[in-house]
Amino acid sequence: MEPQRTTLSRRRVLKLSGASLLAVALSACASPAAPLPTVPPVAPATPPPPAAPTTVAAPTVAATPVPTVAPTIAPVASPTPVAVAPVAPPSADVRVSSSGYSGPLRLLVPGYASGSPAAAPVDAAVAVFRTANPTIDLTVMGYTPDQAGLGRLERALREGGRADAVRLPADLLPPLVQVGVLAPIDAFLSDADRSDIVPQLLQAVRVNGQTWAWPWWVTPTAMYLNLDLFQERGITPPGPDWTYEQFVELAKQLTFQDGDRQVAGFSSSLDGSSLSVWPLFMNEGPQVRPLLNENRSFGFASPEAVAGLQRFAELTLVHKVTPPNFGLATLPEVQDGFRQKAWAMVADSSGPAVAYANENLNFAVLPMPTYRGQRITTGGLGVLAVAMNNDPARLQAAMDLARYLSSAAAAQDAPGLFLAPGARASVALAAPLNLFISMVPDTYAPPLLAAWPQIRAIMQAELQQIVLGRSSAAEAMQRVAPEIDRLLAQV
């Protein structure tokens, strides 16, 4: 008898998509910390050798998914606009600011706690920047992963001088842009920056025609293979150019029962902000995207999208390759099941790869399978935003800091600084994060809309109904299309 399944009501899902999930989401950025500590001076970091090949042991800093939860920030009148322009071209050495600035500069990092293991890579990068810029007094401050901490962050950005650069999940950009506390970076982007940053990731941080943050990293969704289960069933893992049809066939072969032991060929999560299953139906075609027409209309109600969604649902409804709680399991439950060899393949972000490697799990990582030649994946974006400031030199110093921290030089200077593959093509990382770098150009980053968390929550609830067989893909998408189009009309 199939276990009883409990689904979330639409009202509860929408509630969870907002500020009530903020603490959970921001806590994924780093370990908890006291608010606004400062960093004591530390010795300059010695640059490590170039990134090792995939056989090198994983770093000990745990990688985590980039959170994507919208905050609650009350709109207020924007401050008087200031001229946002560099005072000098960027230096040839990205570690050196060309601003000529002398004075304090403050970097805000979620969950930062001076002296903690998680803070060590940040401290190393800060030490390099300090050494290269002796007239800049750079300190690091933490903001706590809760609604109160977000309020303090907003005030620090609003009150000039308390914050200059801040690490954020990209979902926080729209409301902060709306209240006028951030500076656009367009005038500070050099030709080298534009050619290095992956184009769609730079496009992803544009709001109202301007670019509002330096893309730092992205967390591509990939397929994790439990190699012990492949070996147990005598199956050779596929190569990186595998197809959706091969994926389904493998999932069938890896779904089996051995006494009381039940193994599913595939699992993933529809929990919260995770878009890990979306590439499995977005690969139906290049127009299968949640929003179309410059984010003005809902895209998943098209016949092509509906076909992809129904094909995805057949993993459960027809092929029977998923566990009984598929669609209801939380992300930690899915990851624990992978560790315990309860399922052979899991679609997940780059987040758990370092933890799996540190636990000596026997696993492999592949790009998401193609369908009719279409390859796509999804991922959350981590960014560095810069506070508006009336001092042009200080503003450029903050921009130069953000450029450095997002660069290949910082990845080399401070191993573990990047919690996911870099948004720049030049960034090289050690195993296992290097396995995801080739996926970055195929990554779809969610749109920066204040309504996106609500739209995503509506979609996740409907996906749950589809995989549980309670609604066809066509019925579900036709049901929510008017609601989502109304949300988009309000943007």
What pLDDT score was predicted for residue 11? Answer: 44
The two tokens of residue 196 are 């290095």
- Listed residue (177, 20, 192, 8) closest to 90, CA to CA: 192
Mean pLDDT within 70-86: 49
What angle do the packed helices 473-489 and 452-467 form, to 10 degrees?
Answer: 170
Angle 367-317-378 (CA atoms, 0-180°, nearest 5)?
A: 25
Coil/strand/helix, residue 381: strand
> Are residues 284 and 376 in contact, defined by beta-carbon separation less than 8 angstroms?
no
**Residue 464, Cα to own-chain centre: how many angstroms?**
22
Angle, alpha carbons 24-108-64 (nearest 5°): 40
pLDDT for 70 beyond 50: no
Q: How far is CA 194 from the centre of its chain?
A: 20
Tell me if 211 sits within 8 A of 185, measured CB to CB: yes
Cβ 230 vs Cβ 236: under 8 Å: yes
The listed CATH number (2.70.98.10, 3.40.190.10, 1.10.1200.10, 3.30.56.10) that belongs to domain 23-219+381-434: 3.40.190.10
- Mention every residue, 6+ apart, whose C-beta is less than 8 A from residue 364: 224, 225, 227, 237
Q: Calculate ∠ Cα 362-364-369, nearest 5°.
A: 150
Check whether 427 has a pLDDT greater than 60: yes
DSSP element (H, E) containing 462:
helix 452-467
pLDDT at 69 over 60: no
The C-alpha angle 202, 207, 208, rounded to 5 degrees, equals 130
Instruction: Single out the residue of 166, 58, 220, 204 nearest to residue 405, CA to CA.
Output: 166
Q: At residue 345, does pLDDT exceed 50?
A: yes
For 248-376, strand residue ranges (E) read 256-258, 261-267, 291-292, 297-298, 343-348, 363-366
Above 70 in pLDDT, residue 17? no
Residue 264 has pLDDT above 50, yes or no: yes
Q: Is the pLDDT of residue 37 over 70?
A: no
Q: Is the pLDDT of residue 84 over 80?
A: no
Percent of the chain with pLDDT over 70: 83
Q: Identify the weakest region by mean pLDDT among 144-148, 330-334, 420-424.
A: 144-148
What is the residue-averaged pLDDT of the chain?
85
> Which residue, 280, 238, 475, is CA-closest to 366?
238
State both tokens at 391: 């001092």
E strand segments, 100-200? 103-110, 136-143, 165-169
Residue with tokens 């573990």: 416
Q: Of all residues in the chain, what percent carry a pLDDT higher than 90?
A: 70
Q: How far, in Å, CA of 414 to CA of 411, rounded? A: 6
Rounded Cα distance, 307 and 315, in Å: 13
The sign one gets for the Cα dihedral 57, 59, 64, 66 is negative
CATH of 222-379+449-489, one of 3.40.50.720, 1.10.287.3510, 3.30.70.1400, 3.40.190.10: 3.40.190.10
What is the model's pLDDT at position 161?
A: 79
DSSP for residue 387: B
- Ranges of CATH 3.40.190.10 domains, the chain: 23-219+381-434, 222-379+449-489
pLDDT band for 145, please (50, 70, 90 cuts).
Answer: low
Contact 102, 204 (CB under 8 A): no
- What is the value of pTM for the model shown? 0.82
Please, how many CA atoms are within 13 Å of residue 199, restricted to the half-sphere of its CB?
Answer: 2
Per-residue exposure over 368-405, b if at least 16 CB sit within 10 Å of its own CB, e if not: bbbbeebbbbbbbbbbbbbbbbebbbbbbbbbbbbbbb
